[in-house]
Amino acid sequence: MMEVHRFNIRHLAALAAVVRSGSISAAARVVNLTQPAVTQGIAKLEAQLGFLLFDRTPTGIVPREEARILAGRVEAALRLMGTRNATAAQVRAFIALARAGSYAGAAAMTRLAEASLHRAVADLSLVIGARLVDRRGRGIALTRRGETLARDFRLALGELRSGLSEVHALQGQETGRIAIGAMPLARARILPDSVAAFHSRHPDVRIAISEGSHLDLVGPLRDGEIDMMIGAVRNLPRGGDLIETPLFDDRPIIVGRMGHPLSQLRGKVPIAQLTAYPWIVAPEGTPLRQLWRGMFATAGVEPPRVPIECGAVITIRQLIRDSDFLTLLSPDQLAIELEAGLLAHIADAPDEVRRTIGITTRADWRPTPRQASFLATIEEQARQKRGGEFS
């Protein structure tokens, strides 16, 4: 599938106008092109795609399903961009500059000359009618208008990529890319199981997984760089720009080394005794840290010392294996170590200590059929999780 920056934005706008108006002459007036230019633009799009978008008849041209799908995505992209006059080269240059933070970095990213990038961004500023970039030493900083435009451009390109993926799928070409933001708990079981199940059915769809905390991933989600986040939900207010879909409740457990003094109590550990040992807990502000603090507050017990704050399971696992540290984690995150007897399940946390795991998406996101299929796969894995079917 061709990269979207290789398509002419005015040609795409002409395609959408023809589908909406039903004729080339009406579309030409909408996009301010001549009728021959619209006809040639559509022909070039078809040549680039490798298939027809319209059927030619004695009474005019009739859009195929591919044209209707692509037109809807193009209209969404144009609304986000706010202009039909920006060129693909200008959009590509500006997004690269926004991501790299310097013209030198953008040049390395795009393999374009710095002078070409300077010219493209300057021309884009004239098209938009606003200053987009400020100089900062050897780098640049986007103005407020520039930051907004960069995000809108990224979302617009995401719409176009989704449209191309959908029309190629209609042609029997399994294409597309699913970009997932994985928070710590999602990486333990549900995401790997979902990816494996989906890949077995759609081996030609590319899956890109970015790991990080909620804070690391929420920006890329809003920018359209990832399609969804999977992990502990934050109970965001309704009506915002993000939507959370709950999947299942996770019940963390208290874990220590095999042979830990508290393991002799066989799970019957009073809350007060948990304060006698140091803890490794996720940083302040995370849902797990709030649950840990609440566990002691509910019992009316002062929380114990936390000499080490850490959210990385691999690091926690190594630290508690050789010490009397305790931690609070999902059993899924340490399933292999618990089953192998490398770590011990010291006790269950109280019933109220639980967190909801879910999917977070943009409110205005329209998944492609393949992305919708991936979401359905995750939901199926979550049903198995709730039913206790995970091995």
Tell me whether residue 55 is in a domain: yes
pLDDT at 60: 83
Structural domain includes residue 281:
yes
The answer to whether the CB of 52 falls within 8 A of the CB of 63 is no
Helices (H) and strands (E) in the chain, counts: 15, 14
Residue 16 has pLDDT above 60, yes or no: yes
For 282-339, the pLDDT digits (tens) are: 999 888 999 999 999 999 999 998 999 998 889 999 999 989 999 999 998 998 999 9
Structural domain contains residue 242 = yes
Q: Over the chain, what is the mean pLDDT?
A: 92
Give the domain CATH number at 323.
Answer: 3.40.190.10
Q: Are residues 197 and 331 in the same domain?
A: no
pLDDT at 391: 39
Look at residue 176 and tell me whether its pLDDT is greater than 90: no
Tell me the pLDDT band of 21, cut-offs 50, 70 and 90. very high
Q: How far apart are CA 327 and CA 257, in angstroms?
A: 10
Say whether both 238 and 265 belong to one domain.
no
User: How many residues make up the chain in this entry?
Assistant: 391
For residues 208 and 23, give the distance between their C-alpha atoms in angstroms, rounded to a whole number: 40
CATH classification at residue 15: 1.10.10.10
**Structural domain includes residue 42:** yes
**Residues 354-380, mean pLDDT to the nearest whole number:** 94
Domain boundary among 33, 63, 81: 81
Q: Rounded CA gap, 227 and 359, in Å?
A: 10
Say whether pLDDT at 136 is over 90: no
Do 65 and 21 belong together in one domain?
A: yes
**Rounded Cα distance, 286 and 254, in Å:** 17
Are residues 259 and 334 both part of a single domain? yes
240 and 265 in one domain? no
Tell me: pLDDT of 1 over 60.
no
Answer yes or no: do 366 and 344 share one domain: no
Taking residues 9-34, report their average pLDDT: 94
| Burial class for 56, CB neighbours closer than 10 Å (0-12, 13-18, 19+) | exposed
**Domain membership flag for residue 40:** yes
Residues 6 or more apart from 137 whose CB is under 8 A from it? none
Q: Are residues 245 and 274 in the same domain?
A: no
| Mean pLDDT confidence for 88-103 | 95
Query: Can you give the pTM of this predicted structure?
Result: 0.83
CA distances from 356 to 61, 201, 234, 246, 351 (A): 52, 28, 9, 6, 13
**Residue 156 domain-assigned?**
no
Tell me: do 200 and 329 sit in the same domain: no
Domain for residue 216, yes or no? yes
Please tell me whether residues 273 and 323 are part of one structural domain: yes
User: pLDDT over 70 for what percent of the chain?
Assistant: 98
Max mean pLDDT among 149-158, 164-173, 377-386 falls in 149-158
Which pair of tokens denotes residue 189?
């079981």
Query: Is there a single domain that holds both residue 289 and residue 210?
Result: no
- Which residues 6+ apart lie within 8 Å of 33 measured at CB? 10, 14, 41
How far apart CA 200 and CA 186 sit, in angstroms, is 20
Tell me the residue type at 351.
D
**Predicted local distance difference test score (pLDDT) of residue 82:** 94
The reply to whether 375 and 238 lie within a common domain is yes
CA distances from 330 to 189, 240, 318 (A): 10, 29, 16
CA–CA dist 175, 159 (Å, integer): 15
**189: domain range?**
176-249+356-386
Report which of residues 154 and 388 the model is more confident about.
Answer: 154
Q: State how many domains the chain has.
A: 4
Instruction: Write down which residue in 34, 51, 81 finishes a domain.
Output: 81
Quick check: is 162 in a domain? no
Tell me the mean pLDDT in the region 149-165.
94
pLDDT in tens, 182-222: 998 888 889 999 999 999 999 989 999 999 989 999 999 99
> pLDDT (tens digit, 9 = 90+) per residue, 266-282?
888 999 999 999 999 99
Distance CA 50, CA 40 (A): 15
Looking at the structure, tell me whether residues 217 and 264 fall in a common domain: no
Would the pLDDT of 166 be above 70? yes
